C-alpha cells in the first residue's frame, strides 16, 4: 500500500493507498509543468491552460494537493472561503491509467478533513456527462444541488454538487 504523507497542515492522520513510495504533498508553482501534463492526460481538450492554472494557484485561499510517485499521479485544487464556511473543489484529476484505484477518493477525504477545520460545506461543479466523477461524488455523499446551464467556457453544463460536513 502507498503511504501518503500529510504535508501542509499539522495532523496525525496518515493515508494509505499502496506501497511504492507514493505520497501526497502540497503543490507549488514549480509543480505547474507536471500538473499541466496530468491535466492534458485527464481532460484532453477540456483541460485548463497553464496561465489559468497558475492564476488559480496564486489566488488567496487556494490550495493544491498532489499525489506523486516518480511523476504526478493525481491532484486536487480547492479554495477555502472562511466567511462562507465553504470549501470549493476547483479541479480533481487522476492519471487515466490509475483511475478506480482510490486516489480520487483519498484526495477527497483529505480535502474534507481539511475542510472540517474551517468549513461546514464542500461544493464542486462537474460535467453531467462525466459519469465516473459524478458516481464518485455521489458515492462520497455529495448531492446535486442544481444544474448550471452553460457553466463551462465551451458552453457545457455543470452539476453543482454539495456535501454538508458533520
Q: Given a cut of 50, is residue 95 above it in pLDDT?
A: yes
Q: How far apart are CA 150 and CA 156, in angstroms?
A: 5
Provide the total of helices (H) and of strands (E) in the chain, helices listed first: 4, 9
Q: Given a cut of 80, is residue 165 above it in pLDDT?
A: yes
Binned at pLDDT 50, 70 and 90, residue 2 comes out as very low
Contacts of 97 (CB under 8 A, 6+ apart): none
pLDDT of residue 21: 64
pLDDT of residue 16: 41
Q: Indicate the helix (H) or strand (E) that contains 20.
A: none
Domain that holds residue 15: 3-164
β-strand partners of 3: 16
Q: Residue 12: which CATH number?
A: 3.40.630.30
Sort strands 158-164 and 121-126 into parallel, antiparallel or unpaired: antiparallel
β-strand partners of 1: none
User: How would DSSP label each residue in 53-102?
Assistant: HHHHHHSTTEEEEEEESSSEEEEEEEEEETTTTEEEEEEEEE-GGGTTSS
pLDDT of residue 20: 56
Overall number of domains in the chain: 1
pLDDT of residue 11: 34
For residue 118, what is its C-alpha cell?
474551517
For residue 64, what is its C-alpha cell?
493544491
The residue ranking higher by pLDDT, 87 or 4, is 87
Q: Dihedral of the CA atoms 67, 72, 74, 80 (nearest 10)? A: 70
pLDDT of residue 61: 86
Q: What is the CA radius of gyration of the chain?
A: 15
Helix (H, G, I), strand (E, B) or coil at 7: coil
Segment 103-151, tens digit of pLDDT: 899 999 989 988 888 888 999 999 999 999 999 999 999 999 999 999 9
pLDDT of residue 45: 78
Of 5-9, 22-26, 91-95, 106-110, the least confident: 5-9
Segment 21-68, tens digit of pLDDT: 677 888 888 888 999 998 888 888 778 888 888 888 888 888 898 888
Q: What pTM was estimated for this model as a whole?
A: 0.81
Amino acid at each position: 500500500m502507498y503511504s501518503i504523507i500529510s504535508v501542509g497542515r499539522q495532523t496525525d492522520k496518515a493515508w494509505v493507498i499502496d506501497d511504492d513510495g507514493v505520497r501526497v504533498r502540497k503543490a507549488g508553482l514549480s509543480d505547474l509543468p507536471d500538473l499541466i501534463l496530468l491535466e492534458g492526460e485527464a481532460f484532453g481538450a477540456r483541460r485548463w491552460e497553464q496561465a489559468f492554472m497558475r492564476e488559480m494557484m496564486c489566488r488567496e485561499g487556494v490550495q493544491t494537493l498532489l499525489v506523486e510517485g516518480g511523476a504526478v499521479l493525481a491532484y486536487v485544487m480547492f479554495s477555502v472561503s472562511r466567511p462562507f464556511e465553504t470549501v470549493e473543489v476547483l479541479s480533481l484529476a487522476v492519471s487515466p491509467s490509475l483511475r478506480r484505484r482510490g486516489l480520487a477518493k483519498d484526495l477527497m477525504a483529505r480535502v474534507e478533513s481539511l475542510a472540517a477545520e474551517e468549513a461546514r460545506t464542500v461544493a464542486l461543479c462537474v460535467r453531467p456527462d462525466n459519469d465516473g466523477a459524478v458516481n464518485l461524488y455521489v458515492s462520497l455523499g455529495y448531492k446535486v444541488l442544481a444544474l448550471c446551464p452553460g457553466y463551462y467556457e465551451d458552453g457545457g453544463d455543470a452539476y453543482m454538487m454539495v456535501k454538508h460536513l458533520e
